[in-house]
Amino acid sequence: MQGYRVLVGVGGGIAAYKVCEVVSTLAKDGVQVRTVLTDAAQEFVTPLTFATLSRYPAYGDRDFWQPVHGRPLHIELGEWADIFLLAPLTANTLAKLAHGMADNLLTNTVLASTCPVLLAPAMNTDMWEQAAVQRNWQQVQQDSRYHTLAPGSGLLACDRVGAGRMAEPAEILPYVRSLLHTQGDRDLIGKHLLISAGGTREFLDPVRFIGNPSTGKMGIALAQAAHHRGAKVTLVYAPSTAIESVRAFGVRCIAVETAVEMRQAMLAHFSQADWTIMAAAVADVKPADYSPEKLSKSALPENLLLAPVPDIVAELASLKQPHQRLVGFAAQTGDIVTPAKEKLVRKQLDAIAANPIDQPNSGFGSDTNQAIFLDRHGRQHHIDQPCSKLTMAHQLLDFIHAMPKC
């Protein structure tokens, strides 16, 4: 994230306190962050707070006419930014954006910039549901510059329960990072991606199962990245604690536990998918016998008989149409390329991501990852140092997008 520049516009609402975490996290990641506050925003959080968290001055309307290096401030800031985040976006500022109005430093800077703008509204439920506000919300979404995180529902600061709650930092930060990678390009509009995530569980009885350490973070990162790039996404996930980070903004999420359940869900949606990415760690075997009641310790078999589970990716490959792309994952130790190439050919995949799970900060459960991507045309792409799983997800989508069509 070193060297990127994010401009944050803060509106007047209690949700401004959440933006402190966003600014602090980006700054810790090495991003240059500058903030612009409306007069109303300064009633909730002081400019000093944001200046301290970002290590850069925070600007308000009192600074509007103070030149920077001899140039107007709104011009300088607008040209400086790679990404512009507006959070919380108030009904007042939304109306100004929808109609191209500019009467303060924040809105003038929006018009003086050309970078992608991410909007995260926050307001009372009755305000959000007003017809005029909804018209303005729909209108800004017609402008390709604007990317949007619709508010969620919950208990608001006014004690109302309903829509209007600003997206959480855990939703805002991945979107900002995606925009820094894509510069706002929605190159997957019109495509439907089917993605699997997590590790399946194969039960011996109601409390014991054969499983693996997969947390689903890689598959969820792929779903986030694809959604941010405009794709329609269906995510089939085995148990994962991170699923709410994608469910909240419109990714269709289908929960499964076993390999049989994952097979059923993947087959049900495969024909509608343009790209299918099998990031899940699916079990290879299951207990041959299942007890519907918990087995006592003395009743546990000394030798556990095992039975194979469906080979989901091979079955999908047999059904694949010429316009579809099927991508697998191979979690390996030691030499990761040789077995990945063999799996690529044997399973008739279009591409595969080979993960070195024996390397630090990579593989199961980690927030970072590294990999080698290979495709059936002989191309390779190496990620030799651990990066965030969202960054790796974008690089994999880039790799698939660049694949030859034949």
Q: Each residue of 259-299: pLDDT tens digit?
A: 999 999 999 999 999 999 999 999 999 999 999 999 999 99
pLDDT at site 240: 64
pLDDT at site 175: 96
> Which of 155, 182, 209 represents a domain boundary (last residue)?
182
Same domain, 131 and 42: yes
Same domain, 139 and 222: no
Same domain, 212 and 361: yes
At residue 241, does pLDDT exceed 70? no
pLDDT > 70: what percent of the chain? 97
What CATH number does the domain containing 242 carry? 3.40.50.10300
Same domain, 175 and 229: no
- Any domain includes 187: no
Task: Give the burial string for 354-371 (b: 16+ CB within 10 Å, else e).
Answer: bbbbebeebbbebebbbb
pLDDT at site 248: 56
Q: Residue with structure tokens 């929006």?
A: 110
What CATH number does the domain containing 38 carry? 3.40.50.1950
Q: Report d(CA 353, CA 146) in Å as an integer.
A: 32
Residue 358's domain comprises: 192-401
CB 330 within 8 A of CB 336: yes
- Any domain includes 18: yes
Q: Which of 20, 115, 158, 253 is catalytic?
A: 158
Same domain, 231 and 332: yes
pLDDT at site 66: 76
- Any domain includes 73: yes
Stronger pLDDT, 48 or 362, i.e. the higher one: 48
Same domain, 155 and 215: no
- Any domain includes 397: yes
Of the given ranges (183-197, 229-243, 269-283, 362-376), which has the lowest mean pLDDT? 229-243
pLDDT at site 246: 62
Q: Could you please report the per-residue DSSP string of 130-162? A: SHHHHHHHHHHTTSTTEEE---EEEE-TTS-EE
Q: What is the pLDDT of residues 311-328, one digit of tens each?
A: 999 999 999 999 999 999
Same domain, 202 and 274: yes
Q: Could you please report the per-residue DSSP string of 233-253? A: EEEEESS-TTTHHHHTTT-EE
pLDDT > 90: what percent of the chain? 85
Same domain, 168 and 261: no
At residue 333, does pLDDT exceed 80? yes
> Which of 182, 205, 226 represents a domain boundary (last residue)?
182
CB 8 within 8 A of CB 33: yes
- Any domain includes 394: yes
Question: Is position 158 annotated as part of the catalytic site?
Answer: yes
- Any domain includes 406: no
Same domain, 266 and 176: no
At residue 247, does pLDDT exceed 60? no
Same domain, 335 and 229: yes
- pLDDT-based confidence at 249, cuts 50/70/90? low
- Cα dihedral across residues 209, 212, 217, 221: positive or negative: negative
Same domain, 228 and 99: no
- pLDDT-based confidence at 244, cuts 50/70/90? low
Same domain, 169 and 272: no
Q: What is the pLDDT of residues 136-189, one digit of tens each?
A: 999 999 999 999 999 988 888 888 888 889 999 999 999 999 999 999 999 999
- Any domain includes 48: yes
- Any domain includes 44: yes
> Which of 182, 204, 231 represents a domain boundary (last residue)?
182
Q: What is the pLDDT of residues 47-94, one digit of tens each?
A: 999 999 999 999 999 998 777 667 899 999 999 999 999 999 999 999
Number of domain units in the chain? 2
- Residues 354-380 have a mean pLDDT of 91
CB 124 within 8 A of CB 163: no
pLDDT at site 406: 59
Tell me if the bond preceding 213 is cis, omega within 30° of 0.
no
Look over the chain and give the mean of its residue pLDDT values, rounded to a whole number.
93
- Cα dihedral across residues 186, 189, 195, 197: positive or negative: positive
